[in-house]
Amino acid sequence: MSAIVVAASVAGRGAVLDLSVPAGSVTAVVGPNGAGKTSLLHLVAGLLAPTDGEVRVGDEILSNPRRVVPTHLRRVALLTQRSALFPHLSVLDNVAFAPQAAGARREAARERAMTELRGVGCEALAGRAAHQLSGGQAQRVAIARALAGDPLVVLLDEPTAGLDVASAAELRTVLAERLRGRTSLLVTHEALDLWTIADRVAVVEGGRVVETGVTDELLARPTSPFLAHLSGITLLTGVGRDGELEIAGGLRIQGLSDAVQPLHDARPGLAGIPPEAVSLHLEPPGGSPRNVLPAVVKVLEPRGPVVRVRLDVAGQQVAADVTSRSVARLGLAPGTAVWAVVKAVQVRLYGR
């Protein structure tokens, strides 16, 4: 396995991308649409040429402004949202395609293909035609096909998008198992993909890699609004005052300062509030150290047994998860003024 190092810009797309993927790591690439995630994949696959900088896999320079190694010589597998199985080949021959392209004999290639199909639990589908597979099956076969070529690097562009919940869950299990220890870049919009498949996360925004780190650490204390959104945590921005975070309207948020990235006085900071830690009241309650924030209900989003209530707190958005029963009892509707209450120990304060 080889590490990926991208330090390249693409002038036409306004992308200046800087990212290292350690050998054997599965790095998830997240970010808003149009941020440059797919450009990143295409740079590594050789489908996009850098106008400056270079792309390396292992010790080899694959792209720089003077030379772009053709895609087929890179040993970089690409898996897209549409599995793109060849419609004129059986499932087995689809998976045997890469070994055969590499010069393996038909029988040896098919043997290898069978092994890979077993690896994704699809050996029973070997004789089928591509159009006889469900979306989830097709994606699993596409993984087998990609891995049968012994790629140095695996690139995945939203592989679980467009699948139903059960198929996506199944695919995640397969991906987690088959990608373990292979250098991979996984573009995704799904928080679940991050937790189950990736060990590292890179956040891409506005054509830049703005943050990278280990999945668990980054999602536990998200410092960018995008990551916070992915992990479901609300972030409030403000300034440190006496160990608390002062946000607009002079409101103070109490919480526990983060050990790695502590909040400093008179410096910009963030408060991370998990939606399930927020309770809503029509009258301000008393009691132990709590944050009691005046809020206005903006939107109610039913999510199974709970309702996610999006609140406006001094111009910033805060999410609260409450039961549908309390929504009814409090008579919550867009425009209702409420008090959002959060225990201080459930709020984390970061410096920026």
Partner 1 sequence: MIRPPLPRWLAVPAVVATAFLAVPLLAMVVRVPWSWFLALLTTTSAVDAFWLSLRTCTASTLLCLVLGLPLAMVLARSHGRLATVGRVLATLPMVLPPVVAGLALLVALGRRAWLGSRLSLLGVDLAFTTGAVVVAQTFVAMPYLVVAVEGALRVAQDDFDVVAATLGASPTTVLWRVTLPLTAPAIASGAALAFARALGEFGATLTFAGSLQGTTRTLPLEVYLIRESDTDAALALSVVLVAVAVVLVAVTAALGRSWGTRR
Query: Are the C-beta atoms of 4 and 185 separated by less than 8 Å?
Result: yes
First to last CA, the chain: 35
Q: How far is the CB of 4 from partner 1 (least distance, A)?
A: 15
Residue 98 touching partner 1 (CB under 8 A) = yes
Q: Sheet harboring 244-246: ordered strands across?
A: 252-253, 244-246, 234-241, 268-273, 348-351, 256-257
Burial 13-23 (b: 16+ CB within 10 A, else e): bebbbebbbee
Shortest CA distance to 324 belongs to which of 298, 303, 351? 303
Q: How far is the CB of 334 from partner 1 (least distance, A)?
A: 37
The only residue of 12, 33, 66, 88 in contact with partner 1, by rule CB under 8 A: 88
What secondary structure does DSSP assign to 165-230, as a single string?
HHHHHHHHHHHHHHHTTS-EEEE-S-HHHHHHT-SEEEEEETTEEEEEEEHHHHHHS--SHHHHHH
Q: Which is nearer to partner 1, 48 or 163 (CB)?
A: 48
Options 1-9, 70-78, 177-185, 245-253: segment touching partner 1 (CB under 8 A): 70-78
Residue 78 touching partner 1 (CB under 8 A) = yes
State the residue for tokens 């092994």: 115
Q: Which is nearer to partner 1, 55 or 309 (CB)?
A: 55
Residue 47 touching partner 1 (CB under 8 A) = yes
Q: How far is the CB of 19 from partner 1 (least distance, A)?
A: 19
Residue 233 touching partner 1 (CB under 8 A) = no
d(CA 203, CA 279): 30
The only residue of 29, 40, 76, 263 in contact with partner 1, by rule CB under 8 A: 76
Residue 70 touching partner 1 (CB under 8 A) = yes
Options 18-26, 69-77, 111-119, 224-232: segment touching partner 1 (CB under 8 A): 69-77
Q: Which is nearer to partner 1, 79 or 319 (CB)?
A: 79
Shortest CA distance to 57 belongs to which of 84, 22, 16, 12? 22
Q: Which is nearer to partner 1, 102 or 328 (CB)?
A: 102
Phi, psi of 224 (to 5 degrees): -115, 145
Residue 102 touching partner 1 (CB under 8 A) = yes
Q: How far is the CB of 285 from partner 1 (least distance, A)?
A: 57
Q: Which is nearer to partner 1, 47 or 330 (CB)?
A: 47
Q: Which is nearer to partner 1, 87 or 127 (CB)?
A: 87
Residue 145 touching partner 1 (CB under 8 A) = yes
Total number of residues that touch partner 1 (CB under 8 A): 27
d(CA 43, CA 234): 33
The only residue of 84, 191, 210, 292 in contact with partner 1, by rule CB under 8 A: 84
Q: For the chain, what's the residue count?
A: 352
Options 29-37, 80-88, 174-182, 342-350: segment touching partner 1 (CB under 8 A): 80-88
350 to 211, 223, 256, 335: CA distances (angstroms): 15, 8, 9, 31
Q: Sheet harboring 278-281: ordered strands across?
A: 278-281, 337-343, 290-303, 306-313, 316-323
Q: How far is the CB of 121 from partner 1 (least distance, A)?
A: 21
Q: How far is the CB of 176 from partner 1 (least distance, A)?
A: 22
Shortest CA distance to 162 belongs to which of 185, 142, 190? 190
Residue 131 touching partner 1 (CB under 8 A) = yes
State the residue for tokens 């958005």: 317
3-state secondary structure of 234: strand
Residue 72 touching partner 1 (CB under 8 A) = yes
Q: Which is nearer to partner 1, 142 or 218 (CB)?
A: 142
- The site for partner 1 (CB under 8 A) is made up of 45, 47, 70-78, 80, 82, 84, 86-88, 97-98, 100-102, 131, 145-146, 149, 155
